[in-house]
A and B are shown apart, each in its own frame.
Chain A
Amino acid sequence: MDGKVTVGRTAGLYVGAAVLRLAIFTLLPGIPDLLTGRVEISTPVTSFKRLQEGLFLYNHNVSPYDGGVYHQAPLFLPLFALLPNASSYPIFTYLLYIAVDLLSAGALWKIADSGEAASSALFTSPRKERRWSGFVIAAVFLFNPFTVATCIGRSTSVFTTCAILHAIAKAVSGNPFGAMVAISFAGYLSLYPFLLVPPLVLLCYDKQRSGRATKSVIPFAATSVSVVAGVVGFLFGMSYLITGSWEFLPSTYGVQLTLSDLTPNVGLWWYFFIEMFDSFRSFFLGVFWLHLSCYVGGLTIRIRQQPLAVLTLLLGIFGIFKPYPSISDTSLFLALVPLYRHVFPLMRYTFVIAAVILYASFLGPAFYYLWIYAGSGNANFFYAITLVWNLGQSLLVCDLLFAVLRDEWEVERPEMVGKEIRQI
């Protein structure tokens, strides 16, 4: 695969992806609403149906946050209020979602073409010649069934995905301010991207343009964090102006922090907190959030030389352990994994991982059907398959971490390439 990509191929890829989505939207009109209702795609904090309900209440001057249905960011309301009604003119909504997917693919393309994954400022992989071009990586993202299903299901997590990818793309192209603004948007939309700020700051620091580089990392980090705080403060102010009160804060972020809505999803939290004893609920909520955030420091310090790898691994972890994960988070992680093609030979369990993920993807909907509709299974069926799904994903994350670290190690021990190793 050569790096040369003509304009025609680029356009062909984007048009192909857009036509595929548009064809599903228009030729199979039952599919969008079917996918919108799937628990694997729509969580309480990203569901398009809940967005429509919030929009309906917002348009009729009822506060959408004074209720248990709408838990999404307030800025979605004026954005979707500008579009014509989604039930009578759905085409505008479809075009918006397709455009967001293409924008994400564009950002991913930029990240891939920068080569940051294989050769960062502090580290250059000995295998860096082995990589896929941006075209292939964008194509893998755009034609990933998980990405397509998320787009057709009109989950609002695509906006978060787009913001995160743009934040990374800005960072690798040496635009720290843009990166911080983009990550602030992502965090404002779904809270967990705030945990990506430390590695992203390091990535920005490493990729500063040589002309006006800040020497020390501490002032740089302080400036970046204050930019994030400023942008988030501005977004909250806008939200306050739109909704007229601060009650959106407990209803959007409070729900993610306390998991008051226990609708099933592909994650580990929902069944755990259904079955949790009331006296231990707050304790375990704290433990789960602490667990989610403990990887940030560890990975950032351990893989200091490759901040993009930290971001990729963290996105994988968030796709497993965040309160309301969906296949959209997996699709974001799987979009970044191909950037590490150079370490694929170092991964040990590729076949097992692929088999487990495929197994869970096919059995998950079946087991959910058995529980909810057929009544021949119970909640444990779906719970068991989410366990398998998450174990498969965590195996992938661990294996990628192993491969990245071994790749780093082999720079110091070039003679160990292809040899058997162990860890002490």
Chain B
Amino acid sequence: MRQFLSFFLVSLISFCTLSTCAESPTSSADYHEQLVLRPLPLSALLASFNFRSNITVSEFEAHNFRLFPRSLAQILQHAGTRELHLRFSSGRWDSESWGARPWDGAREGGTGVELWAWLEAETDDEADHKWLTLTNALSGLFCASLNFIDGTRTTRPVMSFQPEGDHPSLTEANTHLLFGVLPHEVVCTENLTPFLKLLPCKGKAGIASLLDGHKLFDSSWQSMAVDVRPICPAGGECVLQIELTIDMVLDIDRSKRPRDNPIPRPPPGHELPCNTSKPYHSHDTCFPADHEASQDWTLSQIFGKHMKGTCPLTDPAVPPVCLQVPNSRSVYVSDGVLEKKNLDRVSRCFEIRPDANFEMVLPSPSKDDQQATSLIVKPEAPLLYAERSFTGHGQERGGVQTILRNPSSDTEVEFIYMESLPWFMRIYLHTMSARIQGTKGDDNSVIQEVYYRPGVDRARGSQLEVRMRIPPASTVFLTYDFEKSILRYTEYPPDANRGFDVAAAVITILNKDEPKTGRFAAYNLRTTSLLCSLPTPDFSMPYNVIIFTSTAIALAFGGMFNIMVRRFVAADEGPELGLKLLKTKLKSRFAALFKKFGVGKAKGDQTKEAEPQPAVTE
């Protein structure tokens, strides 16, 4: 009986597994994952992990979450969130050498944590309440300090963001966009672990098995993104799409360092890659060769792990790993992996067996390759370069200067520049100017439109959105002044003299073909965050200050009222005071004592107490 039962159970399970695989075609198309590797100049490697799953809205509302992470879904439902974007980033994207950003910058945030969401609410207060719920819940889910996104760190952008998904049921009135940013947050392993738990294969199989905190947070630049948006295909049922993205730029030299000997040491002379074409090259003179020449690595070297097959739930039609190198370069892969070179001649993808480990080797190029073509795909130039820095010195006031460069020689670029600044930077908008390099004074054609909401002390940060247009091949300097305010001593963090982080400026380049493509932004970028040092009081002496100030006040108060209430008399008038009075009193007491005991005649008898002679003033 027992044997029969177990047989029955096994067959039932196998039937079920088979049937789900065979009978529901949507289940496999509902999830796919892909890793794209792109070697960059200067011995860097961009690895873009993308995980996407869909769920129909009706299933979502019926709490039938399937591939959609239940923990996140319940938070979204509870907080009335219609669309959510969450970013954890660190490092700096070096656009001068690495070119345009992955995903056109749409999947990255500024340093720290960024969160923006469209909430369904009737009033602003209700939206704030839901936002509080959302940030606190996400804070617990992602082990990040998102609960510190309070009123001073939240803004309501007006021009910079548009929903990415389709929201047929929502109107302007009941949708609220809130944007919060925590530039001080240090993104680390404790944020990666909950991130991986949102994936159907939990980092145990597929490309997610390559993700390791040691490598991810050792990278030159990394950004983890969570995007949830509803998508309504024409004629079909609306689906809720969650897209998890991790982009990282690995320094290959650093990644290849063995973990047991991580201290970098200069390589011995014979291993230095030298540029032999220089005339002064000799056995003891070396001009370092371009780093890209040495771009040779294996997948397990740079990620520190092997890739464990594929996730069984993924869509088999999407190749899990792609590599963007010219087709002329040879790449070695493990057995049973099918390499498919794409028609664009600069990328190839690999079909991987679900159960076998995957390994890939990019060997150093042969002599023929070096002469034939470029070794890596030349990065595309971005639409705009932006750099932001502080000007001025001292802890009283300063300025912010953003240098924006349009590299294109024939098209102008139109974008929205958004800053959300802490309230203790009091910005002077009347000093804002945009100057094109090489010209004098303001150029009125650059700034098209300004939206500004000044900050309120301890309640709200400043929000500045500027729509700008930069002519081709020109550089614009956007500057404004601000004043650093001094805070109450309890409002400083423990490391007060480190300074305060100022969130990255968000630049959204507008898409000129928006009506055709439906995309609002053609390209996004963030500047680096800034560190603003405020004047600090002396934290060690609150008691001393209270005492000193109170003393000064008491001196003035006492001095004034002393003069006011006391009467004037001549120096020799009025009652004796102080020592004289004491002396007289003592003398008379002693005299009385002597008299009582009859010890001779005391001289004290003659001492006469001075009669008070009141000198009338009024």
Contact = CB atoms under 8 A, between A and B. Distances in A.
Interface of A: 37, 39, 49, 52-53, 55-57, 60, 62, 66-69, 87, 260-264, 268, 270-278, 291, 294-295, 298-299, 302, 317, 320-321, 371-373, 378-380, 383, 387, 390-391, 394-395, 397-398, 401-402, 405-406, 408-409, 412-413, 416, 419-424
Contact of B570 (A39, A317, A416): A416
5 contacts: A264-B486, A372-B394, A372-B395, A378-B536, A420-B570
B488 A424 contact: no
Nearest to A64: B454
B556 A371 contact: no
B426 A69 contact: yes
B199 to A, nearest CB: 44
B310 to A, nearest CB: 55
A68 B457 contact: yes
Contact of B488 (A49, A66, A278, A380): A278
Contact of A56 (B430, B483, B535): B430
B1 interface: no
B449 to A, nearest CB: 11
B571 interface: yes
Contact of B563 (A263, A383, A402): A402
B553 A268 contact: yes
**Of residues A274, A298, A423, which shows the largest number of chain B Cβ atoms within 10 Å of its Cβ?**
A274
Contact of B423 (A68, A272, A320, A419): A68
Nearest to B457: A68
A62 B556 CA distance: 44
Nearest to B557: A291
Interface residues of B, number: 60
Interface string B477-490: 00000010111111
Given A380-B541, A419-B570, A422-B574, 18 more contacts: A55-B430, A60-B450, A68-B426, A260-B457, A261-B457, A262-B487, A263-B485, A268-B553, A295-B560, A299-B560, A373-B396, A387-B552, A406-B568, A413-B568, A413-B615, A421-B569, A421-B570, A424-B577
A423 B488 CA distance: 43
Contacts of B566: 423-424
A372 B535 contact: yes
Interface string B514-554: 00000000000000000000011110011001101100110
B560 A423 contact: no
A261 B94 CA distance: 40
A278 B490 contact: yes
Given A56-B429, A274-B537, A321-B553, A262 B548 contact: no
A376 to B, nearest CB: 13
B542 A423 contact: no
A325 B84 CA distance: 49
A329 to B, nearest CB: 15
B614 to A, nearest CB: 9
A387 B430 CA distance: 35
Contact of B549 (A56, A271, A408): A271
A423 B559 contact: no
A43 B481 CA distance: 18
Contacts of B563: 398, 401-402, 405, 423
B571 A321 contact: no
B171 interface: no
Given A268-B552, A398-B560, A402-B563, A275 B429 contact: no
Interface string B438-465: 0000000000001011111110001000
A414 to B, nearest CB: 12
A419 B615 CA distance: 14
Contacts of B548: 383, 387
Contact of A274 (B426, B483, B488, B575): B488
Contacts of A390: 552, 556
A53 B430 CA distance: 6
A37 B396 CA distance: 9
A421 B571 contact: yes
A69 B428 contact: yes
A57 B548 CA distance: 40
A275 B571 contact: no
Contact of A260 (B393, B430, B458, B575): B458
Nearest to A262: B486
Contacts of A276: 488, 542, 546
B617 A412 contact: yes
Contacts of A380: 538, 541
A420 B571 contact: yes
A321 B556 CA distance: 10
Contacts of A263: 483, 485-486
Contact of A66 (B454, B545, B616): B454
Nearest to A284: B546
Given A372-B396, A421-B570, A298 B564 contact: yes
Contacts of B615: 413
Contact of A405 (B542, B568, B616): B568
Contacts of B535: 264, 371-372, 379
Contacts of B452: 57, 62
B426 A401 contact: no
Contacts of B575: 424
A412 B616 contact: yes
Contacts of B397: 37
B485 A378 contact: no
Contacts of B552: 268, 387, 390-391, 394
Given A260-B457, A275-B542, A373-B393, A409 B568 contact: yes
B561 interface: yes
A282 to B, nearest CB: 13
A373 B546 contact: no
A276 B426 CA distance: 23
Contacts of A53: 428-430
A419 B570 CA distance: 7
Contacts of A422: 568-571, 574
Contact of B568 (A57, A272, A277, A421): A421
A271 B545 contact: yes
B291 interface: no
Contacts of A406: 568
B538 A379 contact: yes
Contacts of B562: 423
B556 A398 contact: yes
B555 interface: yes
B543 to A, nearest CB: 8
A271 B569 contact: no
A397 B553 CA distance: 13
Nearest to A39: B396
Contact of B489 (A49, A274, A295, A299): A274
